[in-house]
Amino acid sequence: MEVTDERRQRIADFIEPLRVRPGSAVDLSRDFDPGYRSDQLRKKKDGVELLNAGIALLADYQRRLAAENSHGVLMCLQSLDAGGKDGTIRHVMSGVNPQGVRVSSFKVPSAAELAHDYLWRYAARLPARGEIGIFNRSHYEEVLVVRVHPEALARQRLDAIGDGIWDRRYREINDWERYLVDNGITVVKLFLNLSKEEQRVRFLKRIDVPERNWKFSAADARERRRWDDYQHAFSQMLSATSTEKAPWYVIPADRKWFARICAGAVLAQALIDIDPQYPTVDADALRDLADAKRELEAQAPGGAAPDPFAPSHDGHGHHRTNGHGKTKGKGKGSSKGNRSRSDAGTGTRAKPR
């Protein structure tokens, strides 16, 4: 799928209002509206076609990323409870090949994880080249939950804990992400910004709808009581860790459909900037392909086309056969609606969970 300069600019313009300008002092409640909608997209029905186009674009670029095998992508998702992280992953990544995507969720650290430095468990799950890795909650938990709940920090058995620890961790995280980017791993950071009222409504839905009861716990209500503390921690995090190499994007999350379009657009822009390409083969490999082609053509049974995918000429123009030795086109004998084998199998659509 070719991305024109015009389309590239449209995506860039669409996500620019979501970007946290590096070096800016962020006040989350003042600077970013959870209910924001772009003037380009005001209604949900208008977003369906755009989301589907974005999914197709991501699928194409993910195939190129895997084939080139030179770069990786790490997408970090942060939000409060009920912010829509799982749904964003499920919808935005629905068209990609699941073999090239790995999702990691991080809960309370285990004893083995606490025996290492705080970034150790995250480093162990980084994507390889050619992969997209998704952190459903990420290393930023170490300056969010741990900041709101100092008892969690005490379990990390640090020699010195003081007010300067957060500035130090911001610096360490920035250095780590810079290292990743310098080594071919693009870091995409998305904060799903949910309003307090929308969280209340989503919590009630989880309580009232039996099929959603499993999503809610008493701990969710307890964490909600620390709303202001989390808003302060988020604001400090966004201010200190949005860098030129790894900027934050604040996704307005009150409307799930719009949040998913925004998240897909930011990820698409990152892949467009990487611009992965399918590898080309050298002269020796082309000769090997030609030898293999001749051998396979010689094995064709009687009545079968030696190569059903090779161009044929009927005196009026070149046509490609449909994979069964018949020329594709209108009229008797055509195979309407069939795809050739060469077009099939180019990607696997992940089933929604």
In this prediction, what percent of the chain has a pLDDT beyond 90? Answer: 74
What does the pLDDT look like over 166-178, one tens digit per residue?
999 999 999 999 9
The pLDDT of residue 312 is 64
Q: From the CA atom positions of the chain, what is the Rg in Å?
A: 25
CA dihedral for 74, 79, 83, 86, sign (positive or negative): positive
Confidence of residue 53 (pLDDT cuts 50, 70, 90): confident
Smallest Cα–Cα separation from 74: which of 34, 124, 108, 10?
Answer: 124
Q: To the nearest whole number, what is the mean pLDDT of the chain? A: 87
Do 19 and 43 meet the contact criterion of CB atoms below 8 Å apart? no
CB within 8 Å of 56: residues ≥ 6 apart:
1, 95
Which residue type sits at 330?
K
What does the pLDDT look like over 123-138, one tens digit per residue?
999 999 999 999 999 9
Rounded distance between C-alpha atoms, residue 288 and residue 298, angstroms: 16
Do 42 and 255 meet the contact criterion of CB atoms below 8 Å apart? no
Using the predicted structure, report yes or no on whether residue 331 has a pLDDT greater than 70: no
CA neighbours within 13 Å on the CB side: how many for 317? 5
Q: Which domains does the chain have, with CATH numbers?
A: 5-274 (3.40.50.300), 288-353 (no CATH)
Using the predicted structure, report yes or no on whether residue 344 has a pLDDT greater than 50: no
Residue 231 has phi, psi (to 5 degrees) of -60, -40
The pLDDT of residue 6 is 87
| For residues 93-104, average pLDDT | 94
Tell me the pTM.
0.83
Q: Which residue has tokens 């396979």?
A: 296
In the beta sheet, which residues pair with residue 308?
none
Catalogue the long-range contacts made by 113-121 (C-beta closer than 8 Å, 24 or more residues apart).
Answer: 114/155, 114/156, 114/157, 118/142, 118/156, 118/169, 119/172, 119/173, 119/176
* Paired tokens of 268: 């698409």
* Paired tokens of 313: 């000429």
Which residue type sits at 201?
V
Query: Strand pairing of 101-105 and 311-313?
Result: unpaired
